[in-house]
Structure 1
Amino acid sequence: MIESISAITLATHDMARAVGFYRSLGFEVLYGGEAEAFTSFRAGPGYLNLIAQPADKHWSWWGRVIFYVADVDAIHQRALAAGWQPSTPPRDAEWGERYFHLTDPDGHELSFARPLS
């Protein structure tokens, strides 16, 4: 039986830009950094990893990573304050979550969500 996701690894063409993006949203760097080929961030009990890829490596929409957060609206405001443009404002969904979507500089779609009471 599958118990959990330990980590997700996303590709980037620009590690410094990607690390700056995730740091601006409050992710804590555990390993690596702007000048490294691999960086790992804490994401609750799991990890979000970034791996550098050459410029000729291309990808298209692959799906979405959903992060549960304590306060969806606070993360949305933090993203706006950092100059990022979420693709949706926070909203309450019919499936019982408050969420918004934000695409990182490498085209990975992120969702920040919280179950509704």
Structure 2
Amino acid sequence: MTARFDAIGMVTADMAATLAFYRLLGLDIPADADGQPHVEAALPGGLRLMWDGEEAIKSFAPDFEPPTGEGRIGLAFRCDGPADVDATYAMLTEAGYKGAMAPWDAEWGQRYAQVHDPDGNSVDLFAPLG
């Protein structure tokens, strides 16, 4: 038997707010998913990104305590180019999401920025320079 990496799961305090954030990043999530306890989005390459509301987790793990603070999980989205990193960062921060690091040219050869989703998770935006 061989295990195969298939999905990334995240717990959210506010499903609608979280899904709105990831829709802005281009994930195909149906509008009627906002009130669901469990939501999945297909990713390129066959992986899935999944969200569960805190109450859904508590339904089978009654002692569940949501983690606090930032940086519980980090996701990275590749942008089409350096200007797209800047535009995506601006779009998200203008929509009210927390910018953690404004776009900059990183020493490793990428245009890089970081925002936080509604649950405080780090979301990196990057594109190769040049």
**Fold-level match, TM-score > 0.5?**
yes
* Contact 2:98–2:117 under 8 Å retained in 1: no
Unpaired stretches in structure 1, ≥5 consecutive residues: none
User: What corresponds to 1:52 in structure 2?
Assistant: 53
Deviation beyond 4 Å, 4+ runs, structure 1: none
Aligned length: 114
Q: Which has the larger radius of gyration?
A: 2
CA distance in 2, matches of 1:49, 1:31: 15
| Cα offset, 1:25, TM superposition | 3.3
* Contact 2:110–2:129 under 8 Å retained in 1: yes
The TM-score with structure 1 as length reference comes to 0.78
The TM-score with structure 2 as length reference comes to 0.72
**1:59-98 counterparts in 2 under 5 A?**
59-60=67-68, 61-70=71-80, 71-98=84-111
| 1:40 corresponds to 2:50 | no
| Cα offset, 1:36, TM superposition | 0.8
What CA RMSD, in Å, does the superposition of the two structures yield over aligned residues?
2.6
Higher mean C-alpha displacement, 16-25 vs 101-110: 16-25
Q: Judging by fraction of residues, say which structure has more helix.
A: 2
